[in-house]
Amino acid sequence: MSATIEDIFRQTAGGGGGPLYMRLRRSIEEAVRTGLINPGDALPSERDIAATAEISRVTVRKAVQHLVADGILIQRHGSGTFVAPTVQRVEQSLSSLTSFTEDMARRGMTLSSQWLDRGLYDPSNEETVILGLGAGEKVARIARLRIANGNPLAIERASLAASVLPDPDAIENSLYAKLDETGNRPVRAIQRIAAVNLGRHDAELLDVAPGAASLRIERTSYLPSGRIVEFTRSIYRGDAYDFVAELRLQA
């Protein structure tokens, strides 16, 4: 008969050296590695693990905390602890100006978005300067969690002049498709990419552990006239994205 996860827990106290919580941590890692519990599965409760392994709940909690910090487990408020889901990595070219919708469609992935915010606001100083807003002009802000094949991949927060996007509610799926309709689709963009560790709120949205590695991307997009049409701050999951740029020897 093949081993069960309970067998693995039962062997914890006897298995290997080091403090008990470290031994349990290794046991859980082994259960994940050998497929006894799979990405997305719920971990048995703290109480059940403690009873099976004959160790204290404090020890179980400590092992779980370490595995959450390692990104092997994730905790969801109110629903428990799960094996972190794995996502298919996406390769994204840094040489063409495409939209999220186009990128995912090209890969045959099903796209959905969860709206976090959309509306017209009084602009911040930064938005006024970057977007070159006139006196009294509002800013359109849209914030979305972008989800492909059911996996949250990125959080995108975009600001545009209200004159460019007077009705943020009119966007169906694609911002760039909406801008295209009014001849405001950007033709050039500058992107700045930096590594950041996720805060608790963004980590929860992206379904990864707080502190997980991610990429912060700022995109400033231009119209043919040279006017800035969009300023976006995005957070992309570090475990889901490879950004690829082609480099050539300068003549």
Give residues in contact with ligand 16G (CB under 6 A).
99-101, 156, 158, 174-177, 217, 219, 230, 232, 234
C-alpha distances in Å from residue 121, one per residue of 28, 155, 168: 48, 20, 11
C-beta of 65 vs 149, nearer to ligand 16G = 149
- The nearest distance, CB 163 to ligand 16G, in angstroms, is 17
Closer residue to ligand 16G, CB minimum distance, 131 or 158: 158
Cβ proximity to ligand 16G, 81 vs 234, nearer residue: 234
Report the Cα–Cα distance between both ends of the chain, in Å, rounded.
67
**Nearest distance, CB of residue 4 and ligand 16G, angstroms:** 44
Shortest Å distance, C-beta 174 to ligand 16G: 3
Please give the Cα distance from 50 to 78 (Å, whole number): 20
Contact 86, 41 (CB under 8 A): no
Task: Match 């990595």 to its residue by tokens.
Answer: 89
Residue tagged 């487990």 (tokens): 73
State the Cα–Cα distance between residues 23 and 161, nearest whole angstrom: 56
DSSP strand E in the chain: where?
73-76, 80-83, 90-93, 111-121, 139-148, 151-161, 188-197, 213-222, 228-237, 241-244
In angstroms, what is the minimal distance from the CB of 93 to ligand 16G?
A: 10
Write down the least CB distance from residue 100 to ligand 16G, Å. 3
Dig out the tokens for 51 from the structure.
Answer: 């009873």
The residue among 14 and 172 lying less far from ligand 16G, judged by its C-beta, is 172
Q: Which residues, listed in sequence order, are joined to residue 249 by a DSSP beta bridge?
A: none
